[in-house]
A and B are shown apart, each in its own frame.
Chain A
């Protein structure tokens, strides 16, 4: 008899609200196609760009990155037949045939491959509706600029890139002389004594970022003929602000022992906040999630009943095989927290100048944990996270196809292990392209890691 065990599978979720996400996603794809059919302008954009401007200007945003995620999870026609390759693989192979390197981000290869088929709709959930414009940013990685520029060229639609200064090493930049103050603090960062997370942006960085946003608004106005309205924008910004406060509350609740909402749930629940922030629907989702997590904490309900060790996750997600986040459960291990996709505190609301406010927020993010552009910040973020979430081990995603995510991995593992006694184990592959993944190698590493952790005293207990 042949073993029919599935090699890659979705994760098992613990939190009920997390099960609402898949219908939420499906509804988004359906309504994007409805919007397109009704003649509403569709913009292809990216996860890291705040969406408020899109809602305020009444354009419908969709995301090649998320398209990558679903192609990494699904096979053609929705079949579960394992002898059919995942859609991400089919599209990636087409992109590679056109000359794109296999070391490029899987999201990029998937969406490029899909575009190259000439039939966008032959894809999971009917794919993305054809764009009327493409808006990307220089922020986070080099790739998203050039990738979306290529798509704009292929679809022959107007293109805008929102340039955000790439912040350097770590400390306050308000005064020119101060930016190198990083060095004296490095030892403290290593000891986890100082949070270097919020460095205030300098005036010229803020001015520049604000101009970039104003130009972005002007671009959308020009392309669509829609007019920017500050009151409408403030309404959206208000919802975003309130949503983020709820999300911060959830992050606070997630520190509880036993962990009420692990990484499997966390990565599932990132969708509304990452792609639909600023909508009422998104706000309500997080209110329900917060309420449920709160209840679980009050009743002492954990992801698994007896926690023997708690794990931190660094990196994006291997979407093609989310079951990895349940793997340690048989050893009594639980993935507790993932810094990625969890927003940082927003600056206070500035209704008289919301574009300035958005600029401040964008720059704070750019120094932040959601997408650490500097190695020191990434290390510091993970040190703080390990302490706050009482983790005794970390799994680092050697995301071989993402430069910004893979660069800090060595330093994170080294500093956590050498300075804090928190051991690290890597998993090496792409986020959606399962051809890069070796189950044998990964699980052998995980087993050895679990054995090691079971012998250790928890570090931050």
Chain B
């Protein structure tokens, strides 16, 4: 009998492993979708994005401070448009 139990033990282990994965995955996912966790991750992402945007804004202003000529400003800016498409944010420039 012990031999039989041992022979099929692999199947038992595999089934326990699958059930465990299902349960752990469930608890992991459920813990991830609490409002507290989501709040934290959103706050983190907002900070990250803001820093990113500020960096870009700084780069843009630095670049244009060096060539302050209205017409050229517009053209060159537009020429760089393609590279800016993947920023996941849009921006506008207006005169004061």
Report whether chain A binds chain B: no
